[in-house]
Each structure stands twice: as structure tokens, then as C-alpha cells.
């Protein structure tokens, strides 16, 4: 564990909150896996197991007025950002009570109330969007920060490089968070990048960047505080490479032919929840009754979300062609 990092609040309350947030994501993802095997959730679904520390370390550091752009592996980000679990689950079911009316599904969670600009199924597709959000804030001279999450696969896309360049050139207030889990679907990083030190790519664009142990939630939070503060003050971009690992397959239908089971097992021993829980226990920050209480609260919330989704309704087919263009009543962009 990092010792003398930028000081996150090391209070028991905060530590337990970090733990709970990570477990909440983990158990939500687990429930999604179960529901997917039962065909309640369909299409493509990408789970966040093992990467919880990144979302939980970064997002709570942001303000409500800040903006979040994410990828198709965005359940964790959405949950931490405050998108209600009920509406997320309903969205996964495709019910119209979902956070995108059921029209998007797992890969396209959106929530205007929390400035959550989606879920994006195009690798790298969210980066230019984040640049644009930052451009608007730059032109308005406010102090809003846009946090853009993407994976190691995105750095191969032209859009990544264009976005780095634009953000640095125009000095835009964007925090780029690369969740480097070492695999772009089934392709290992070393097999697709000449330079595997991803944060160094950002340096080449003259963006301040650092790499951090993405399996250490306290380290991630400390780095995030540095980064968000820098972006908010300097109004310039910042690049945070979070080195993490994906414990589950890329998506549900993936036999993982591209990596050793032994490698996955080894990683399981040092995954963020296990590590953090051990650290809390070692430092007597967690009491025997805490975990059962946390689990009970989480499981109750999950059960409630499933019930909400199950009880949800299907959007009538005669509404199919709505929401392609604006209804007169809906205000335009914000």
C-alpha cells in the first residue's frame, strides 16, 4: 500500500466506503453474469471484475458538475457516479424504465442527471467526445473537469492520437484515464503496441501523465486527487494510466484462449478487493460486523434492482421511431 501519497482521507468511514463501493460493483457484475446466463440480459455484456479500484478511486474525486465519458465496460463507472442501480438493471433488461429507456442496453448507459455521457461501443469513440466537452468548458472559461475512461485497446486507434493532440494543443480540461488491463479483447498489449508504456505516449503529446497501480484503490485515489486538482486549476489535460487486470473474460462469450488460466489465478490473489480488505484488517480499520452489514445492504439493493427490472415494462413497438430526432418538448444539448 502506498504510504505517504497525496493524502486521501484515511478515515475509517472513508475506507469502508471505498470497500463498499468496490464490493457493490463486484456483486452487481456477478448478478449480471447470472442473469445473462438466464437470458434476462442479452447482446454483449462486459464485466468489470478486477478493475473496481479504478472507478472507485477516480470518480468520487470528481464534482457533480464534472463530466464522465466511459466505454462499453461501464457498469462500474455508472454505479459509482450515482446512476441508480435500479435504472441500470432495467436498462440491461431492455425495459423502458432503464436509464436510456431500454434503447441502449449494457454498452450504452447514459444519465444526464449525473453528467454521465455514456457507454460507447466504439473503441476510442468517446475520446473525441470528451475533447469536445472539454472544448465547450474551455470556451466558457469555467472550472469543469471531464474524466474520460478508455482501455489499452483504444490507444491503437487514430482517434486516440487525434484526441491527445487536440487536448494538448488547445489546452482542454480533460482527465484521460486509461484502464490498462493488458488485453484489448483477445490481443495482449505487447502484441499490438510498439510502446507498451502507455502513459509515455501521452507525454509525447506534452500531456502531464503518470502510471499508477490500478489494483490499489488508495493509490488510485491519491493519483486521481492530484490529477483532478491539476486539471481544474491549470485547465490543461492530464493522463492517468491505471495498471489493472480483468478477472473475467472480455465478454460473456469468450473462452479466453489468449491467456493462461494460471495467470488469471495469480491475479486473483492480488485483486483490489482482496488486497484492500486484507489491508483494512491488518490496520484494524474493519470490524467483524462491518462486512456482513455491507454485504447485506448491497445484496438488498441488488435484489431490489432485479425486482425493479423484472417488474419493468417493454416500450410499445409503436413508439419505435421516436427519439431519432428531437421531440418539440425536449430541450437541446446542455
Partner 1 sequence: MVEFRMPSLGADMEAGTLVEWLIKPGDVVKRGQVVAVVETQKGAIEIETFQAGRIDKVLVDLHSKVPVGTPLALILAEGEEKPAVATAVPPPAAVAPTAAPSLERPPMAPARPVSPVRPRVAPGTQVSPAARRLAQERGIDLSTVTGSGRDGAITYADVERRAAEVMAPAVPVAPAERKRAPTLDLGAMRVAIAAAMARSKREIPHYYLEHQVEVTACERWLAEKNATLPPEGRLLFGALPIKAVALAIRRFPAFNGFYRDNKFAPSPAVHVGVAISIRGGGLAAPALHDVDQLPLDELMRQMRDLIQRTRAGRIRGSEMSDPTITVSSLGERGVETLYGIIYPPQVAIIGIGKAVVRPWVIDGAIGPRSVITMTLSGDHRVTDGHAGALFLAEIGKLLQEPEKL
Partner 2 sequence: MKQEPIKTEAIEITYREAVREALRDAIKRDERVFLMGEDVGRYGGCYAVSHGLLAQFGPERIRDTPLSESGFTGAGIGAAMAGMRPIVEVMTVNFSLLALDQILNTAATLRHMSGNQFGVPLVIRMATGAGRQLAAQHSHSLEGWYAHVPGIKVLAPATLEDARGMLWTALEDPDPVLIFENVMLYNMTGKLATDAGPVDIDKAAVRRPGRDISLITYGGSLWKTLEAATTLAGDGIEAEVIDLRSLRPLDDATIMASVAKTRHAIIVDEGWRTGSLAAEVGMRIVEQAFWSLDAPLGRVCSEEVPIPYPRHLENAAIPQATKIVAATKAALDRA
Q: Which CB atom, from 253 or from 325, has the smaller least distance to partner 1?
A: 253
Q: What are phi and psi of 315, to 5 degrees?
A: -65, 135
Q: Spell out a b/e string for 164-186, using b for 16 or more CB atoms within 10 Å of the CB, else e.
A: bebbbeeebbbbbbbbbbbbbee
| 303-322 positions binding partner 2, by CB under 8 A | 321-322
Residue 331 binding result from partner 2, partner 1, none, given CB thresholds of 5 to 8 Å by partner type:
partner 2
Residues in the chain: 334
Residue with Cβ nearer partner 2 (65 or 293)? 65
Closest CA to 201 of 138, 242, 156, 135: 156
x-or-dash pattern for partner 2, window 16-55, by CB under 8 A?
----------------------------------------
Residue 321 CB, nearest distance to partner 1 (Å)? 24
Measure the CA–CA gap between 200 and 215, rounded to whole angstroms: 20
Among 75, 101, 250, 275, binds partner 2 (CB under 8 A): 101
Selection from partner 1, partner 2, none that 155 binds (CB < 5 to 8 A by kind) is: none
Nearest to 269 by CA among 294, 245, 298: 245
Q: Which three cell numbers stand for residue 108?
A: 450504452
Q: How far is the CB of 203 from partner 1 (least distance, A)?
A: 38
Residues forming contacts to partner 1 in the complex (CB under 8 A) are 30, 33-34, 36-39, 42-44, 249, 251-255, 257
Cβ–Cβ under 8 Å, residues 182 and 189: yes
Query: Taking a C-beta distance cutoff of 8 angstroms, is the pair 29, 75 a contact?
Result: yes
Q: Which residues of the chain form contacts with partner 2 (CB under 8 A)?
A: 67, 98-104, 108, 110-112, 117-122, 125, 127-137, 139-140, 158-159, 162-163, 165-166, 169-170, 321-327, 330-334
Amino acid at each position: 500500500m502506498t504510504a505517504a501519497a497525496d493524502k486521501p482521507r484515511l478515515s475509517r468511514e472513508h475506507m469502508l466506503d471505498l470497500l463498499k463501493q468496490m464490493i457493490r460493483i463486484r456483486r452487481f457484475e456477478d448478478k449480471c453474469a447470472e442473469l445473462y446466463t438466464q437470458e434476462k440480459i442479452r447482446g454483449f455484456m462486459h464485466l468489470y471484475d478486477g478493475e473496481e479500484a479504478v472507478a472507485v478511486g477516480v470518480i468520487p474525486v470528481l464534482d457533480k458538475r464534472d463530466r464522465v465519458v466511459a466505454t462499453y465496460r461501464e457498469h462500474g463507472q455508472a454505479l459509482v457516479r450515482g446512476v441508480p442501480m435500479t435504472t441500470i438493471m432495467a436498462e440491461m433488461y431492455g425495459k423502458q424504465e432503464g436509464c436510456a429507456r431500454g434503447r441502449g442496453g449494457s454498452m450504452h448507459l447514459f444519465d444526464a442527471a449525473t453528467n454521465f455521457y455514456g457507454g460507447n461501443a466504439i473503441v476510442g469513440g468517446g475520446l473525441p467526445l470528451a475533447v469536445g466537452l472539454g472544448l465547450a468548458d474551455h470556451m466558457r472559461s469555467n472550472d469543469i473537469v471531464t474524466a474520460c475512461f478508455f482501455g489499452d485497446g483504444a490507444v491503437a486507434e487514430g482517434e486516440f492520437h487525434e484526441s491527445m493532440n487536440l487536448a494538448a494543443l488547445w489546452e482542454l480540461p480533460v482527465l484521460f484515464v486509461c484502464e490498462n488491463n493488458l488485453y484489448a479483447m483477445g490481443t495482449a498489449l505487447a502484441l499490438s503496441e510498439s510502446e507498451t508504456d502507455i502513459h509515455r505516449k501521452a507525454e509525447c503529446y506534452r500531456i502531464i501523465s503518470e502510471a499508477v497501480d490500478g489494483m490499489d484503490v488508495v493509490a488510485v485515489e491519491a493519483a486521481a486527487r492530484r490529477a483532478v486538482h491539476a486539471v481544474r486549476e491549470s485547465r490543461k489535460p492530464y493522463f492517468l494510466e491505471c495498471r489493472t487486470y480483468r478477472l473475467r473474460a472480455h465478454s460473456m462469450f469468450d473462452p479466453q484462449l489468449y491467456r493462461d488460466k494460471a495467470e488469471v489465478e495469480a491475479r486473483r490473489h492480488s485483486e483490489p478487493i482482496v488486497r484492500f480488505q486484507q489491508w483494512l484488517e491488518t490496520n484494524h480499520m474493519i470490524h467483524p460486523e462491518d462486512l456482513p452489514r455491507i454485504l447485506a445492504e448491497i445484496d438488498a439493493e441488488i435484489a431490489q434492482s432485479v425486482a425493479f427490472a423484472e417488474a419493468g415494462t417493454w416500450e410499445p413497438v409503436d413508439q419505435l421511431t421516436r427519439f431519432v430526432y428531437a421531440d418539440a418538448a425536449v430541450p437541446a444539448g446542455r
